[in-house]
């Protein structure tokens, strides 16, 4: 028997069937995804498309259905405000001041 040479994935965030309904309107229809250590998750979309609702549900700030499991406390959540883009930001990661 050989030894395993590929790294075992280290899942930071696991989301299964995440669904959010606000005031009778379906905002998030049942999302499934994982974020592993070393990966970045970027949430992009038009105004009103549910980006903030997604983040608030992931952080437990909004009622939701489904499963959200943060496997490690070392996961970090960042925010890039509107108005900043690749031409106005030279170095990444951003500082709080940026």
Mean pLDDT, rounded, for 41-67: 90
pTM of the predicted model, to two decimals?
Answer: 0.69
pLDDT top residue among 12 and 89:
12
Mean pLDDT, rounded, for 64-89: 73
> How high is the mean pLDDT of the chain?
80
**Structural domain containing residue 72:** 8-98
Give a yes or no: residue 31 inside a domain: yes
Helices (H), the chain: 51-58
CA–CA distance, 40 with 9 (Å, rounded to integer): 14
What does the block give as tokens for 59? 């952080």
CATH (domain of 40): 3.40.50.300
Q: How confident is the model at residue 96 (pLDDT cuts 50, 70, 90)?
A: low
Q: How confident is the model at residue 39 (pLDDT cuts 50, 70, 90)?
A: confident
Give a yes or no: residue 1 inside a domain: no
Give a yes or no: residue 3 inside a domain: no
Query: What domain count does the chain have?
Result: 1
């Amino acid at each position: 028997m050989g030894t395993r040479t590929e790294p075992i994935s280290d899942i930071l965030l696991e989301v299964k069937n995440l669904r959010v309904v606000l005031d009778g309107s379906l905002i998030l229809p049942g999302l499934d995804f994982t974020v592993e250590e070393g990966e970045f998750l970027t949430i992009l979309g038009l105004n009103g498309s549910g980006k903030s609702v997604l983040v608030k549900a992931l952080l437990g700030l909004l009622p939701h259905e489904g499963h959200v499991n943060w496997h490690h406390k070392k996961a970090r959540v960042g925010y890039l405000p509107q108005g900043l883009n690749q031409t106005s930001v030279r170095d990444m990661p951003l500082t709080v001041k940026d």
